[in-house]
Structure 1
Amino acid sequence: MEINNQDSVYQAGDVVYVIYRNPHTQSVANVQAAAVVNDPDHPEELALFMYETYYPLTNEVAVYASEADAEAAYTQSFGQM
């Protein structure tokens, strides 16, 4: 399965980058690599796998194909890294 996000197509096995907020400290965010995988609970859907957790891969998640793109978006949103 493929999903269009940010004008790119992702499929299981891709490594992507997201801006991840620390769930324990919401004021902390960083760029994090994540693997695109088949969702174990919904095999027909894709998920992001990072920090030993699966997250739904939807068009509501800002996903970047390169770390540089993710860092540029982070800087634009949050200031210097």
Structure 2
Amino acid sequence: MIDSSDYNQYRVGDVVYVFYRNPHTQDVANIQEAAVVNDPDNPKGLALFLYETYYPLTEEIAVYPNEQSAEAAYQQFFDGDLFDD
């Protein structure tokens, strides 16, 4: 996930990558490209525009600057066993 120091690196027009869960099949997650845009609900904030929907860009969303970073994190979180001894 991004932290407050990384949050300032994004600008309107940037393309980023996020994990997106299928709303119909919650156990399926994919890497999706999203655009950084002005938040229509908060003039001072930024949002992610994904599938015709705005999501406020907050530290609660895992955002990756490129597809390779997103794929590495995806492998760690979804394909690897996070509970190895």
**Paired residue type of 1:38:** N
Gaps of 5+ in 1: none
What is the TM-score of this pair, normalised by structure 1?
A: 0.86
**Paired residue type of 2:11:** Q
Question: RMSD value over aligned CA atoms?
Answer: 1.4
Question: Counterpart of 2:55 in 1: which secondary structure?
Answer: strand
User: In the aligned structure 1, how far is the partner of 2:13 from the partner of 2:19?
Assistant: 19
> What is residue 19 of structure 1 aligned with on the other side?
19
What is the TM-score of this pair, normalised by structure 2?
A: 0.82
Greater per-residue helix proportion: 2
Note the alpha carbon deviations across 1:14-56, whole angstroms, 9 max, x for none: 0000011112211010000000000112121100001000011
Question: Does residue 55 in structure 1 map to residue 60 in structure 2?
Answer: no
User: In the aligned structure 2, how far is the partner of 1:41 from the partner of 1:59?
Assistant: 17
Count of aligned positions:
76
> What is residue 10 of structure 1 aligned with on the other side?
10
Question: Counterpart of 1:10 in 2: which secondary structure?
Answer: coil
Q: What percentage of aligned pairs have identical amino acids?
A: 67
Q: Which runs of 4+ in 1 moved over 4 A?
A: none
Gaps of 5+ in 2: 81-85
Question: Counterpart of 1:21 in 2: which secondary structure?
Answer: strand
